[in-house]
Amino acid sequence: MQPDYRAVDAAQPHAFYPVFNESPKTLSTAQISHFNEYGFIEKLRLFDKNEADQHRHRFDTLLAEFQRQERDSYAINGYQTRIDFIWDIATNPLLLDHVEDLIGPNIVLWGSHYFCKMPSDQREVPFHQDATYWPFRPFKTVTVWLAVDDVHRHMGPMCFLPGSHLHGKLAWHQRTDNTVLDLEVEDPTRFGTPHALLLNAGEFSLHTDLLVHGSRRNRSNARRCGLTLRYVPPDVRLIDERYANWTRRAMICRGEDPSRYWREQVRPSSPAID
């Protein structure tokens, strides 16, 4: 069920929760301070070149199957419990070590999505806050953006508006033009110059769900794809149980959920597309 965005706005609270971690395992204290102040951390490494090439090959095969079914390049959404290699990335210990330093030892993944801009894709992703779209409280989702392809400036890279997460939930309007997502925050220029996320394949970033971000059209003849993974601590809840489908494919990646609100899942044995 798609959320009523006005109802999501009405649900409280609307605040960013800063990270307090005096003894991080993987991130530096400077990186955590940067996350608190600017809303993101970038240029982290998960895969070496061979591993990044393997991931790209698996994605290429998956995308080809979606294209055979005449499905959009952005349609590979929520397959973490149905496709084995997405599960394996989501539960990668090194990746979880980074996430743990921001949200704690009990880690739940509730969503994944390949954002795949094809060559010369004219669609934009308007500047938005992820939290506008999501029926969860409190605002503690940390997103991993893992580069499948090398990302250069002319490809329409994701751009962050540093520090915009400190202003809480922002007013927005709906766009009806050529976009991938249709909600845009009011007057994003007030937050200063966008910071382009330029990564090599196998690198990743981390950002908070209140950070304003977006991307322009792909002006190149090359593809620009990244895998997003959405992690929360287990105290996060739906604002309304009508949106229970949002947790249907959630998975406990590390630790436990003492409340048993979030499900245990079983690793898929092979890719499954429906």
Q: Is the pLDDT of residue 272 over 90?
A: no
**Inter-residue contact 140 to 181 (CB < 8 Å):** no
* Residues in a beta bridge with 136: 238
Interval 116-158: pLDDT, tens: 999 998 999 999 999 999 999 999 999 999 999 999 999 999 9
CA angle 91, 248, 96 (to 5 degrees): 15
- Cα separation, 32 vs 21, in Å, equals 8
Interval 226-254: pLDDT, tens: 999 999 999 999 999 899 999 999 999 99
Q: Is the pLDDT of residue 57 over 70?
A: yes
Q: Which of 70, 112, 68, 106 is nearest to 233 (CA)?
A: 106
Domain ranges of the chain: 5-14+31-254
Read off the DSSP letter of residue 193: S
- Cα separation, 64 vs 59, in Å, equals 8
pLDDT band at residue 180 under the 50/70/90 scheme:
confident
CA angle 147, 177, 273 (to 5 degrees): 45
The pTM score is: 0.96
* Residues in a beta bridge with 252: 108
SS3 205: strand
pLDDT band at residue 274 under the 50/70/90 scheme:
low
Share of the chain above pLDDT 90, in %: 86
Mean pLDDT of 207-216: 97
The lowest-confidence range among 30-34, 47-51, 64-68, 266-270 is: 266-270
CA angle 221, 223, 228 (to 5 degrees): 155
* Residues in a beta bridge with 143: 207, 230
Mean pLDDT of 73-91: 95
The fold adopted by the segment(s) 5-14+31-254 is: Jelly Rolls (2.60.120)
Average pLDDT, the chain: 94
- Cα separation, 273 vs 87, in Å, equals 14
For residues 152 and 271, which has the higher predicted lDDT (pLDDT)?
Answer: 152
Mean pLDDT of 73-79: 94
